[in-house]
Amino acid sequence: MVRARRKPVSQTQEILTPSGKADLLDQRRDIEDTLREAENFGKGTAAEQLDKEGLRRQIRHIDNTVEALSPQKATGKTKDSLVREARQLAEHFRKGLPTKYEMDHPAKCPGAVRKHMGWLARNKDNIKRWRYIQNVINPEAPESIEELRDSGKPRY
């Protein structure tokens, strides 16, 4: 059987995190267990009414999803350029990003919610790119945009 070539993941496409991949593989294991149990029971049981081919299609779909959305290993120059781009995006995000204090105390900081919503709208594509880069660079523990917020706590 010849396998089709894997399509490259686009530069902003969401990719599977390790926990997302583990969830899909758990679903696959559950479906396989159901199929295995159905083979052990005979006629006149509930196992006879199972759509075994449908379950096999679900397994294939999960396999294809895991293969298509798994991050590719970044090494050498590619990883260096991604790290450089992540630093540039981090600096860009810090401009206009509401502080942690503003987000935690919106009643004390009028306009904080509107400021945050506007910031999200302006940076939508950059946020997708940031998530992609973080998942490629460090798939085990990607950095969150929340970590870029400064405390911003007033000193009074």
C-alpha distances in Å from residue 7, one per residue of 4, 21, 65, 108: 9, 18, 12, 49
Q: Looking at the whole model, is its pTM more than 0.75?
A: no
Top pLDDT among 13 and 35 is at 35
**pLDDT cut 90: percent of the chain above it:** 29
What does the alpha-carbon distance between residue 78 and residue 84 come to, in Å, rounded to a whole number? 10
Residue 7 has pLDDT above 80, yes or no: no
The rounded distance, in Å, linking the Cα atoms of 143 and 131 is: 8
Predicted confidence band at 117 (pLDDT cuts at 50, 70, 90)? very high
- C-alpha closest to that of 29 among 76, 73, 52, 63: 63
What does the pLDDT average to over 84-99? 90
